Amino acid sequence: MATSEFNRFGIISVILTVVGCLGGLTVGFGAIQYTGTLIAVVVPTMLTLSLLIAVAPMRYIYLSAAVSIAIDIILIAYFALT
């Protein structure tokens, strides 16, 4: 975590790719069919992307990315099983 600020641009590119692709996959798997699930995917994804653009502290970016990825994985699993 101490080198997060030093490696900021590399970490940001990985987080941007992972969060963006997982959000798109989740919407594609079926989150677009229900307003609640669409909101549950879009809000944390856009929050993470907004924090990246705003050059927020890395701890906030890590937290929002973790929440966004967790929600996306849970919803992908839910839509894959139903």
CB 78 within 8 A of CB 28: no
For 39-67, how does the pLDDT look when each residue is reduced to its tens digit (9 = 90+)? Answer: 999 999 999 999 999 988 889 999 999 99
Average pLDDT over residues 74-80: 93
Contacts of 61 (CB under 8 A, 6+ apart): 11, 12, 15, 48, 51, 52
d(CA 61, CA 77): 24
**Structure pTM?**
0.87
User: Would you give the distance in Å from CA 63 to the centre of its chain?
Assistant: 10
- For residue 31, the model assigns a pLDDT of 83
pLDDT at 77 over 90: yes
d(CA 31, CA 53): 25
